[in-house]
Amino acid sequence: MTASAAEIQARTLAGYADASRLRQVHDRDWVLDQVTGDPRVLLDLGSGIGQLLGTALDRFPSLRRAVGLERSPHRIAEATERLRPYGDRVALHEADLTAPRTLPHRPDVVTMTSVLHWLYPDERRIFEWTRDHLAPDGAFLLTTYHPTRDEHGLGGEDDLVRTVLETQHADVPGLFAAHGVLPIATRTRTTEELKPLLERYFRIEATLDRDAVVTVESAGQYEHFHAATFGDYYSRLVAPEHRAGFFRAVGDTAWRRQAETGHVSRMTVRLWRLVAA
């Protein structure tokens, strides 16, 4: 049975709470472990459905304000529901991080997890904005993902998508280019590229690396993770009537890959602890 476009739309980007258990959740505690002292204001950039903010509010009773900036109104709505019990300790704002507006907050902690690649190539604006908003002794805790990329700039999730599309197309990098889909591994700058970019605005106090290994319990679980994390980013490479099949094929390919290699994907995640330069 073929799913309707509405069904596909309903499941893409929904279900992030479940899907993020595979990868993003690990960043959340790792990042919050780096918070020192008794923070008063924490700002999360690309706050999604508010999970990091909720964890921070539980972990740090000193927090009088946890602020989220997020582009998606659906995610803000879900975060609003999740964080309602915290009352006025929470402030959520709809915002585009590539063109951020001035805010009245002076956070002593700013976090950004699993977001930076979506801002490529405009990351400078949010770096400058963060430097200007941080409290004098504040720290910016940033995570960045680093899949291995090939000569076409594809890697990580792109590679899985390429395996799916190769059954129909001889030149998948050309198909990406023709549809204006920038490979995520290209959006994700290397640590060598990021370092000088960050050093224009911050002093790098420390970096920590972890190996993010994604494994799943079923093809369907990965299909769901892909849809909730990437939405229609890649599926616009196929005709609307083939999108349900595309999501299924991504799940099946991930499951096969895990059977062959022991995991679906593996990449370094870097945590940067940054202070004003």
Ligand X SMILES: C[S@@+](CC[C@H](N)C(=O)[O-])C[C@H]1O[C@@H](n2cnc3c(N)ncnc32)[C@H](O)[C@@H]1O
Question: Which residues form the interface with ligand X (CB under 6 A)?
Answer: 20, 24, 27, 46, 48, 51, 70-72, 75, 95-98, 113-115, 118-119, 229
Sheet of 65-70, strand order? 90-94, 65-70, 41-45, 109-112, 139-146, 265-276, 202-214
CB contact at 8 A, 42 and 60: yes
Min CB(193)–ligand X separation in Å: 19
**For residues 50 and 172, which CB has a smaller minimum distance to ligand X in the complex?**
50
**For residues 39 and 48, which CB has a smaller minimum distance to ligand X in the complex?**
48
Rg, Å, the chain Cα set: 19
User: Please, which residues bridge with residue 276 across strands?
Assistant: 202
Min CB(197)–ligand X separation in Å: 17
Min CB(174)–ligand X separation in Å: 26
Min CB(168)–ligand X separation in Å: 27
Min CB(118)–ligand X separation in Å: 4
**For residues 51 and 144, which CB has a smaller minimum distance to ligand X in the complex?**
51
**For residues 158 and 175, which CB has a smaller minimum distance to ligand X in the complex?**
158
Min CB(264)–ligand X separation in Å: 16
Q: What is the largest CA-CA distance in the chain?
A: 58
Residue 216 phi/psi, 5° resolution? -130, 170
CB contact at 8 A, 227 and 177: no
User: Please, which residues bridge with residue 275 across strands?
Assistant: 203
Q: Name the residue among 99, 96, 48, 41 with its Cα closest to residue 76.
A: 48
Question: Where do we find the tokens 């799940």?
Answer: 251
Strands 139-146 and 109-112, how do they pair?
parallel
**For residues 72 and 207, which CB has a smaller minimum distance to ligand X in the complex?**
72
Closest CB to ligand X: residue number: 48
Chain mean position to CA 218: 22
Min CB(14)–ligand X separation in Å: 12
**For residues 20 and 265, which CB has a smaller minimum distance to ligand X in the complex?**
20
- Report how far residue 226's alpha carbon sits from residue 20's, in angstroms, rounded to the nearest whole number: 10
Strands 90-94 and 65-70, how do they pair?
parallel
**Residue 248, CB half-sphere, CA atoms under 13 Å: how many?**
8
**For residues 70 and 108, which CB has a smaller minimum distance to ligand X in the complex?**
70
